Structure 1
């Protein structure tokens, strides 16, 4: 638990900012997701009068720039702030920084939707800084895995494959370490790596990731779960891309049966699988 006994109010954002990128730190990043902060920090950051006092105090620092919507903190100030924190408190602030960014990414939506890209782009430097500090502090948490996954997925969608891969690999490693080899979130990380390899054209290397994700989902979620159908569709598309039409059709048909049963004809996943199956049948 982070303690704030007899600390000046401006120490709250200064400590938190030490775990983000130094420039263009949105005020919203510090304030809008205050539910991730322990009491009484949430009240300090959301109270407009206290926030005005914080900004007034920060303006007295030569190495802190306070803008209308963002802050900038000199790298030296960040480094000194981190170094002066006890190890436990440094670890706690790292977790808070990761949670703040993770909440922003969660609220923004899926990175495969282009309308989410401005948010991901704005917060990407701060996300990279937060997970870097978490890794250095060995803070292997579900939140860190989620953030690595969000970063990697966004970079993949922007065709920045080389930058995406280590983030997705780190997400998978943390999920395996923290959640276990058979957890549904581990399956999501496997799928994300499979998507990346598929986007790069590495179809042969993609299959083990998709197959392992399918095995986890069948075992943990059930053979008729929508996530299982998603994995079946992925494997169907992979087989179709490799010219194995009969195997692709079997995957698609099973996926479509699950989707119609569990999601209905109007669901987007049902429609995707249906379209994939129709394209395959037209190619036969």
Structure 2
């Protein structure tokens, strides 16, 4: 079905002469149940519903963290096809953006930075159009794009993204929200990478104080932030 036009696909075109009606219906039933196709009863034709494919794949594509890498590897070729679909349905666009964001995170973690950047840009462009420039999910795409630009040594572009994310989170979520604090942390790490240790120390301090208040002193993120703070402080004083 995928090689034909998505609408008005004649049933007889799909059903081979040596395939019984029962076998054909059995093969068609799962596609109908998952809303991947629908029947045009009056014309005895079928329509392939790309939104169903998008929703199904978005639901199963994992977070991209290490434990899910094998599953991500298997699903990635299908997701690349899916994010290339041109759709206008708001729900479908949101799921496209979400899937692209997950795929981008996976690609970033395995070191495929150029491909990750493409996924994050797609996610950002879609979320800006569908959700608006200040929606928290849009700002997450901004932050993710900043992180992959940083990994590629594109520090000026990365700083612009991290600052945009931080300003947006502060406005929408407040200065002490965990997402805001993580954005501060990302900006601090960027300055650390640039060896601007004074700027890094101040931002690490702000992020750490916020993490302790919101998450607790023993939270892994608070501990990691403090270690980065100590490293930047030692380099500044060296």
TM-score after normalising by structure 1: 0.66
Matched, 1:137 2:154: no
Matched, 1:96 2:52: yes
- What per-residue deviation string (whole Å, max 9, x for no partner) do you get for residues 167-206 of structure 1? 2111001110111110110111011111111111111210
Matched, 1:218 2:179: no
| Cα separation, partners in 2 of 1:266 and 1:182, compared to 1, 3 Å | same
| Contiguous gaps of at least 5 residues in structure 2 | 1-23, 39-44
Q: CA deviation at 1:9?
A: 4.1
Distance 1:196 1:240 in 2: 16
- What per-residue deviation string (whole Å, max 9, x for no partner) do you get for residues 116-172 of structure 1? 110100111121122222xx2344521110011112221222222222222211100
TM-score after normalising by structure 2: 0.78
Aligned-CA RMSD value: 2.2
Q: What is the total number of aligned residue pairs between the two structures? A: 203
2:227 to 265, 272, 275: 275
1:257 to 203, 209, 214: 209
Q: CA deviation at 1:13?
A: 4.2
Matched, 1:10 2:27: yes
1:111-130 equivalent positions in 2, closer than 5 A: 111=64, 113-130=65-82
Question: In structure 1, the residue corresponding to 2:84 is in which secondary structure?
Answer: helix
1:24-103 equivalent positions in 2, closer than 5 A: 37=34, 85-86=46-47, 90=48, 93-103=49-59
| Cα separation, partners in 2 of 1:85 and 1:189, compared to 1, 3 Å | farther
- What per-residue deviation string (whole Å, max 9, x for no partner) do you get for residues 218-252 of structure 1? 01110111111100011111112112222111111
Distance 1:168 1:12 in 2: 36
Q: CA deviation at 1:258?
A: 0.9
Distance 1:278 1:221 in 2: 28
Q: CA deviation at 1:10?
A: 2.1
Q: CA deviation at 1:100?
A: 1.6
